Structure 1
Amino acid sequence: MDLLWFTIGVLAAFFVAWNNGSNNAPNAIGTAVGAKVLDVRKALMIATIASFAGSISLGIYVTDTVMRGIVNTLNMPAPYVVKGMVSVLLATGVWTLISTYLKVPMSVHVEIIGGIIGFGLSIGSSFISWGTVLKIMVAWLIVPFAAAGIAYILYPVFSRSFREKRLAKTSLIAASYITATTPTILILVKTISVSSIVYASITTIIIGTLATIIVYLYWKRRIAEGGSPLHEASRILLIMVAAAMAFSFGSNDVANSAGPLAAILYALGIKESLTAMWIAIIVASIGLSAGIIMWGSKIIDTIGEKISPLTPPTAYVAQLSATLTMLVASRLGLPVSTSMAIVGGVMGVGFSRGTRSVNLKLLARIFTLWLISLPATMSIAYLLTISLLI
């Protein structure tokens, strides 16, 4: 194994993961901080733990897509794979760093896919799976508007339930059950066989029921201590869904750096693709966690306050809509963006209250930078790959 390129690959992957964590951490916790439910320090700790758990448990699905589903790296000469994927990681890391400095929640998946396309074009377009690229791009178009649509529909329901004391208990139980069971069922269903589905369903029901009981008892204790039933219900649910979003962030975004690194490790001699992917996922998971802790507060206010003002109920609906969208995408192996999902969720609850509740100029700026990021990282990776292969 070439130790120099191994070291460069690991450092480049860690660099991308670090920037990804720092830029995208607000996708999970920005709404909770903006709604004044969590302070920044506690929110960052929750995001770190939950995203690490998501990376380890579900990260393998999207990592496999990024590793070899877009460009056929398994049938390519090793030097091309190593230098090409290093170029992809460097292009993505630099662009994400710039986006974080500008306080814009960047879609790192768009950058990494753009970089991989640029790498593929530098070798030969025949290596690129254009069908997979098209499927991913369609998912990019669907995700923000799906999250916005779900939020737009759910907001009237939850806004009423969080205004009436008699509905507080019912809302708490139903919402906490949904929040607990969705990631559980997606983790446990490995195949579509009857035995797998039955096992996953029974286990999910048990875990969801236990989690809901714990949440309910904690809610009762807070009320006994003088808390408002409505406020405590919305606060607890928002913390739960923030953790679920951080989990889905880890499960999907770990692939941004783990996928290219896995391809590099495979090309350098780790010929068991599953082993290469797990090594890469561990490196990327640590990088994500480090980025969240060290610089994750940089753009929290963009998500939590600037797109649309948030209260605990509106923040919960935005976060739940984004989380459900992302968890399904992760399980399908689609590398889509938590930034797209949460911006869509916040946008949805904002529009449900009227266009004046949404900062349209900021949304235009975010969407414009997303559109630029694909050709930008594609061009940078293309030029870097050609330079390294000379």
Structure 2
Amino acid sequence: MAWNEPGNNNNDPWKNRGGKDQGPPDLDELFKDLGNRFNGLFGGKPSKEGKGPGGIGISIVLVVAFVIWFLSGWYTLREAESGVVLRFGEYTELKEPGLRFNPTFIDKVIPVDIQTVRTIPASGFMLTQDENVVQVEMEVQYRVLDPKNYLFSVPDPTNSLRQATDSALRSVIGNSRMDDILTSGREIVRQSTREELEAIIEPYKLGLAIVDVNFKDARPPEQVKDAFDDAIAAREDEVRYVNEAKAYASEVEPRARGQVNRMVQEATAYKQGKILASQGQVAKFDQLLPEYKAAPEVTRQRLYLETMEQVLSNTSKVLVDTKGNGNMMYLPLDKIMQQQGVLPATGQRPATDYNTGSGQTTQPTQSNRPSRGDRFNDGRN
């Protein structure tokens, strides 16, 4: 009899294979069995119809799964980070630092540090403009400026920046002389490298900002290092000598200018003195001329006596008596007057008053000078 003929036949090969009920599972029976199992875990009794306490267990499982999913979506972005949100793999927005919610299996958040300053070294042997080989070491400091471009513009922005740095450095070194690179042109090389690097990375939109470029070291190859050290030392000596010469010039020049000004002032004063003295002599002769015209002989005699007075006042004088009885007697007037305290010790005899003969030690002036009549008076009436 066939297994599917009418009657109480229970020979379904899918339900009773091998002597047991091993047919393909029914979905209703499968859910019923799962409900009974979970119901047993939570203290309920199994239900043959899949209702009652078994349905409550499934609901509890779903609630627990939802709670786990909800809690797993919370995350925290640090102060230095910015979150790049991808919804089903597509960029949507940026998240600010703080406590945020991200629906699990829907959105993905990639934190990017946008404040930390990172460093890329660059070094190597390079050819200069004057066809010399120099070993240069440089360090580039950068930070992330745009997280979106940093993640999606190029596959590896750090490697791209490293290659751009090497290219910019070789371009600048190739247009510079070796002496400038090793000595006074280091700052120019550093600034030029930064400008060249920023111009190279701008079209690629790497999302990076150059903070600084540090020129660490530049030296010639070891084979010629001693010669270049001597050249650098000579250049430093040149700079030192120039500075010393400038300092010496700064010290001597003001002193020389002061001396020049003093000499000019002295010459001007001497000139003015001579002019005034000449004018005084002219005025004196202008006053003497009328007297000379009035009495030429008397004026001539007076001028002679005044001249002799001026000459004899600065010389030693001896009085000699030649009218004696064969003996010559002389009197050193200067010594006698010095012993009496009339003349100073210098030996210069001041002019005396010819009228009184008192030997008064007063310098003759225009006011106390004897008149012409008194000057020729020998004391006799």
Point out the structure with max Rg over C-alpha.
2
Q: Same fold judged by TM-score > 0.5?
A: no
Higher relative contact order (CA 8 A, sep 6+): 1
TM-score by length of 1: 0.22
TM-score by length of 2: 0.23
Q: Which structure has more strand as a fraction of its residues?
A: 2
